[in-house]
Amino acid sequence: MRSDKITIADVAEALQVSKTTVSRAISGKGRIGEETRQKVLAYIEANDYKPNVIAKGLAQKKTYNIALVIPGDCNLVDMPFFQNSMQGICEEASANDYDVMLVPVTSSNSGNLERMIANDKVDGVILSRSLVKDTNIALLKEENLPFVMMGTSRDAKILQVDNDHRAGCCALVSRMLHSGIGRIGLIGGSKNYVVNRTRMQGYEDAFHAACSKLDMALIMEDCDSADKIASAAAKLVQAGVGAIICMDDFVCSVTLQVLAEKKIAVPQQIQIASFYDSTLLRNAKPAVTSLVFDDRALGALTCKVLLRYIQGEEVEPKSLLGYELVIRESTLF
Amino acid sequence: MRSDKITIADVAEALQVSKTTVSRAISGKGRIGEETRQKVLAYIEANDYKPNVIAKGLAQKKTYNIALVIPGDCNLVDMPFFQNSMQGICEEASANDYDVMLVPVTSSNSGNLERMIANDKVDGVILSRSLVKDTNIALLKEENLPFVMMGTSRDAKILQVDNDHRAGCCALVSRMLHSGIGRIGLIGGSKNYVVNRTRMQGYEDAFHAACSKLDMALIMEDCDSADKIASAAAKLVQAGVGAIICMDDFVCSVTLQVLAEKKIAVPQQIQIASFYDSTLLRNAKPAVTSLVFDDRALGALTCKVLLRYIQGEEVEPKSLLGYELVIRESTLF
DNA sequence: CTGAAAGCGCTTACAG
DNA sequence: CTGAAAGCGCTTACAG
């Protein structure tokens, strides 16, 4: 920390007022004469005084920091999501004079989060990838530290903000069903992630809404590696599906590769759609029909909810953001 | 900030000693009787007392935070690098009881960094993507805040830690030259990034070392979009090169696509190598010969250098980490 | 070896 | 409307 900066005491002395007065002029709290306040503000402006946030925080028992817990082991598909939502979070945070501390956590090691909590360096926490069983949640509850899940949790008592994967996936599948494609296959990702289960629900919703029966033989869940995805895709081709829905863009890119190798034309022979559009598929050929979500907005809203909650304001227990269905070359509708 | 935690005053009172004594027992600074110190330590352990880092920092004029400046607009290729180096940084930081604040900065907006500095929330800064002209550097110099560049800068006065791209690229190209391939093409990325210029130097080094003459017609620099890369690749094919070196994995993936479309066999007709191996090419077919760097180690070392510097220790002005040349199917040597 | 006191840079009852 | 004082939870000369 540099020490060449002026303090509230310097300002007070220069203006021949008390530190209390200066503090009040800045914070706007407490009664203060309009003239005095203008004088203080003018001096501050002219001399480029910035209050020390750390000291302010100590006095108020706040830190003006939030922690962002990110997986310490995420893979390529997730990265655009984290990158974008992080931007949104940081933007919203800094608009409220908050800063964001990075806390990488792996399933085997939540020590970083524990340290952060023990050190009292944050006022709240954003959890970012929702696992079906998440040990961090227990930790935070125990410590009684405000937190919000960027994603979905089955525990209704947890504040959560998410993209509306369920409605989006339902809309995409409905569209497919109505376009008259007979057999629709699904290749799903790891069931450890809540988001994959949520997407699955959307898929089922669409079938129920259309009064169609799910064909379990065409649903390949838990494909968490390129190999599993490839063999699932091969099976669906074998089964003679007219379309394949991929649960995320990694699934989709592997599936496209398999089809290309088998010389199956997309969309003429098999149509393809993806439940999530990341930059990973940006250059795919053909361009893939998919759902797109505004991850930056998701981050911003998540942060906003957390900050409101910290400030004791009323917040929605669960917020959902919309989706966009973008039709591209990989489908015929 | 929760307020249910015990403070140094509580410990002092319980033990009937002064706060000074407790502080000394914890910090190890100042003379203190071994017996007393054990007593304090035991009590602390038993009652799970954790010093408040914020208060400690205020008293010492430190924050125990560092800022990590990351591009607010990075693309997919960069992500694995940031992801991995970030892990290394966070690890090293927390091993020293430091935390990492995230500061996204775009070329048009360095407000986040300014705010962070003005708010005195960090003891130092890590800059992470070195642009040829970097406005953040001026900002940091002016503020006299310790910082280190994770990457290379031409300004020798700046502390820097980088992968040895130059030596690595030289080794790869030398290997190619010695394997007897006649014409070797190069497709380079944006010259705005220092790293791309450094890689170019390694390329040139290899030619000089082999006493071969550079054929400028085969060097395609500044290909910063898929279109430019594709047209560069097409030109090199036209020029009848025996090999193409791609400056990064995005360049490489586009190049592979172009060759596949033109039905040019890799490596039989044209060999391919990449100067950087990210997960982006993990599933490429054929697997691509490339340089691999340990980005996590890079992050950790960068952080270590910064922390040492902050603590007033002597540090190397420039550290370089090694590389590994991984030969895969895309080349014939 | 130990402690009382001042201080880090703020905020906020309390009093006037 | 304004200020003196105590306090946030630590550290660190200084004195003993």
> Mean pLDDT over all residues of chain A?
91
**CA of residue A206 to C1' of nucleotide D13, angstroms:** 73
Q: What is the pLDDT of residue A186?
A: 96
Residue nearest to nucleotide D6 (CA to C1'): A59
Burial class of residue A73 in the structure, from the number of CB atoms within 10 Å of its CB (0-12 exposed, 13-18 middle, 19+ buried): middle
CB B275 within 8 A of CB B290: yes
In a domain, B181, yes or no: yes
Nearest to A269 by CA among A206, A175, A181, A179: A181
Average pLDDT over residues B137-156: 92
Which one-letter amino acid corresponds to residue B268?
Q
Q: Is the pLDDT of residue B202 over 80?
A: yes
Whose tokens are 């604040």? That residue is B101
Distance CA B34, CA A101 (A): 37
Q: What CATH number should be reported for the domain holding residue A116?
A: 3.40.50.2300
- Examine the domain organization and report whether A226 and A258 are in the same domain: yes
Q: Which of B89, B121, B126, B249 to mutate to test the interface with A (most CBs of A within 10 A)?
A: B121
Average pLDDT over residues B122-142: 86
Q: Tell me the β-bridge partners of A177.
A: none
Q: Is the CB of A20 under 7 A from strand C?
A: yes
Q: What is the pLDDT of residue B78?
A: 78
A11: Cα separation from own chain's centroid? 42
Average pLDDT over residues A234-259: 93
User: Which window residues (260-289, chain B) lie with Cβ within 7 Å of strand D?
Assistant: none
Nearest to B35 by CA among B23, B21, B46: B21
> Mean pLDDT over all residues of chain B?
91
CB contact under 8 A, B119 and A97: yes
Using DSSP bridges, classify how beta strands B271-274 and B243-246 pair: parallel, antiparallel or unpaired.
parallel
Distance CA A86, CA B68 (A): 13
Structural domain harbouring B35: 3-60
- Examine the domain organization and report whether A137 and A278 are in the same domain: no
Q: What is the pLDDT of residue B333?
A: 84
Residues of A in Cβ contact (< 8 Å) with B79 = 76, 79-80, 83
| The model's pTM | 0.92
Q: Is the pLDDT of residue B132 over 70?
A: no
In a domain, A173, yes or no: yes
- Examine the domain organization and report whether B301 and B154 are in the same domain: yes
Nearest to B249 by CA among B230, B273, B219: B273
Distance CA B201, CA B11 (A): 60
Q: Is the pLDDT of residue B194 over 60?
A: yes
Average pLDDT over residues B30-58: 90
Q: What is the pLDDT of residue B1?
A: 52
Comparing B31-40, B55-64, B83-92, B119-128, which segment has the lowest mean pLDDT? B31-40
Q: Is the pLDDT of residue A3 over 60?
A: no
Q: What is the pLDDT of residue A118?
A: 87
Burial class of residue A33 in the structure, from the number of CB atoms within 10 Å of its CB (0-12 exposed, 13-18 middle, 19+ buried): exposed
Q: What is the pLDDT of residue B46?
A: 92
pLDDT band of B264, cuts 50, 70, 90? very high
- Examine the domain organization and report whether A183 and A280 are in the same domain: yes
Number of neighbours of residue B125 by Cβ within 10 angstroms: 25
Q: What is the pLDDT of residue B263?
A: 93
In a domain, A329, yes or no: no
Average pLDDT over residues B216-238: 94
Alpha-carbon distance values, B187 to B3, B236, B263 (Å): 58, 9, 19
Distance CA A203, CA A215 (A): 12
pLDDT digits (tens, 9 = 90+) for A259-274: 988 999 999 999 999 9
In a domain, A40, yes or no: yes
In a domain, B313, yes or no: yes
pLDDT band of B216, cuts 50, 70, 90? very high
Structure tokens at A144: 């009684």
Q: What is the pLDDT of residue B83?
A: 87
In a domain, B84, yes or no: yes
Residues of B in Cβ contact (< 8 Å) with A101 = 65, 99-102
- Examine the domain organization and report whether B159 and B169 are in the same domain: no
- Examine the domain organization and report whether B237 and B285 are in the same domain: yes
Q: What is the pLDDT of residue A29?
A: 83
Each as own residue / partner, the long-range contacts of residues A115-119 (CB below 8 Å, 24 or more positions apart, any chain) are A115/B94, A115/B97, A116/A67, A116/B99, A117/A143, A117/A145, A118/B50, A119/B50, A119/B52, A119/B53, A119/B97, A119/B99
Q: What CATH number should be reported for the domain holding residue A9?
A: 1.10.260.40
Which one-letter amino acid corresponds to residue A213?
K
Alpha-carbon distance values, A13 to A7, A19, A22, A32 (Å): 10, 8, 10, 17
In a domain, B330, yes or no: no
- Examine the domain organization and report whether A171 and A288 are in the same domain: yes
Q: Is the CB of A62 under 7 A from strand C?
A: no
Whose tokens are 């088998």? That residue is A262
User: Which window residues (22-51, chain A) lie with Cβ within 7 Å of strand D?
Assistant: 24, 30-37
- Examine the domain organization and report whether A239 and A189 are in the same domain: yes
- Examine the domain organization and report whether A90 and A202 are in the same domain: no
The secondary structure element, H or E, covering residue B65 is: strand B65-71
- Examine the domain organization and report whether B189 and B48 are in the same domain: no
Residues with Cβ < 8 Å from B149, sequence gap 6 or more? B126, B127, B130, B137, B158, B159, B160, B161, B162
CB contact under 8 A, A53 and B120: yes
CB pairs < 8 Å spanning A and B:
140
Average pLDDT over residues A27-31: 82
User: Structural domain tally of chain B?
Assistant: 3
Each as own residue / partner, the long-range contacts of residues A86-89 (CB below 8 Å, 24 or more positions apart, any chain) are A86/A299, A86/B102, A86/B104, A87/A296, A87/A299, A87/B72, A87/B104, A88/A295, A88/A296, A88/A297, A88/A298, A88/A299, A88/A300, A88/A301, A88/A302, A88/A303, A89/A126, A89/A299, A89/A300, A89/A302, A89/A303
Q: What is the pLDDT of residue A270?
A: 96
Average pLDDT over residues B287-314: 95
Distance CA A21, CA A239 (A): 78
- Examine the domain organization and report whether A215 and A279 are in the same domain: yes
Q: What is the pLDDT of residue B3?
A: 54
Distance between the two ends of chain A, CA-based, in angstroms?
60
Longest dimension (CA), chain B: 86
Distance CA A264, CA A196 (A): 27
In a domain, A228, yes or no: yes
Q: What is the pLDDT of residue A147?
A: 96
Q: Is the CB of A291 under 7 A from strand D?
A: no
Distance CA B191, CA B197 (A): 6
- Examine the domain organization and report whether B104 and B181 are in the same domain: no
Distance CA A6, CA B276 (A): 47
Alpha-carbon distance values, B181 to B174, B187, B255 (Å): 11, 17, 19
Q: Which of B26, B42, B60 is the last residue of a domain?
A: B60
Q: Which residue has the higher pLDDT, A134 or A184?
A: A184
DSSP string for A43-61: HHHHHT----HHHHHHHHT
CB B69 within 8 A of CB A72: no
pLDDT band of A305, cuts 50, 70, 90? very high
Q: In this complex, which of B58, B87, B280 lies closest to A72 when CB atoms are compared?
A: B87
CB B295 within 8 A of CB B277: no
* DSSP-assigned letter for residue A158: S
- Can you say whether the dihedral through the CA atoms of A134, A135, A138, A140 is positive or negative? negative
